[in-house]
Amino acid sequence: MRRAVFVLTLFFFVTLSGCISTNKNIVTGSGIIIYLDFEGGFYGIVTDDGEHYDPINLPSEFEVDTLRVVFKGKIRDDLGSYHMWGILIELIYIEKL
């Protein structure tokens, strides 16, 4: 009985830890900040490889059109946006280049 409980507990731990993993939801890159003048206007990041990211917490000092940056962010697929442009990310780190 104890072995069955241990195996069942181990199964749920392994299964849940795989679901909670955030490494696959972290993106890093470099690119430029661009201003988009639709949906009320907002700033996005276009990476050097052409990806579009819509940061939900871009600091005001980075709201400069064509500013080169390097960044790290968490993909927020649990949120929605009316911008309808790019992948929503929550910035963990951003630096001017």
| Cα three-residue angle 93-94-97, rounded to 5 degrees | 145
54: its two tokens:
């819509």
Residue 28, SS3 per DSSP: strand
The string of pLDDT tens digits covering residues 3-32 is: 544 444 444 444 444 444 446 899 999 999
Q: Go through the domains of the chain in sequence order and give each one's CATH number.
A: 25-96 (2.40.50.500)
Q: Which helix (H) or strand (E) holds 8?
A: helix 2-20
pLDDT in tens, 69-94: 999 999 998 877 777 789 999 999 99
